[in-house]
Amino acid sequence: MKFWKTFDIEVIKFKEGRHEIDFEIGDSFFQNFEDNEIVEKGKLTIRVILDKGANVIEAHFHIKGSVQLTCDRSLETFDHPLDFSQKMIYKYGSEEREIDEDVFMITRDTPIINVAQLIYEFILLALPLKKIHPDHRNELDDEELEVEGGYVYIDEELDSDTESESPNEEEEIKPVDPRWEQLMKLKNKEQS
């Protein structure tokens, strides 16, 4: 119970304006969540900047540190650095409920907002889809292409099939929309 209270922000005490709250989390933070199979250890600092207005509270989270992950290939553990920001909006209304993933409705007399679950979810969302140990990242297969946050797989057979399906006769070629023609020129320019 004491763990959860550590992440309480007493919003009712704050006057309108900007307020900063800092949190430090370690391994014990992740052990308080039932589904902590992805991240069990980590050391992070969280700065929450609250902008409290007359009808809304904007909470800006900046999370920095590292978490320990298990490599999907070698099953070795490694430290994965994190440094990102997220935003949550709390609007005043008649009841407490979630409006969408970035907006909560709270009443004017809501005394506290607990941010532990939010911080945990933000961390999970910031992790890459495929967790590769830094020592193995240069050993990626030729058909794998690294993309921001995760990986995309390219099927070379599919690419070669589409190239071999060229028309046999000139009559089968249909006129190309000039907009698509410009896009194809840009694509070909990038490839060369």
Token pair 């039932």 in the structure block, residue: 34
pLDDT digits (tens, 9 = 90+) for 116-161: 999 999 999 999 998 988 888 776 544 344 444 454 444 444 444 4
With beta carbons less than 8 A apart as the criterion, state whether 48 and 23 touch: yes
Separation between Cα atoms, residue 173 and residue 175, nearest integer Å: 7
The model scores a pTM over 0.75: no
pLDDT at residue number 76: 92
Structure tokens at 176: 């190309």
**Ranges of each domain in the chain:** 2-133, 136-191
pLDDT at residue number 190: 67
pLDDT digits (tens, 9 = 90+) for 164-174: 444 454 555 55
pLDDT digits (tens, 9 = 90+) for 29-87: 998 888 778 898 999 999 999 999 999 999 999 999 999 999 988 899 999 999 999 99
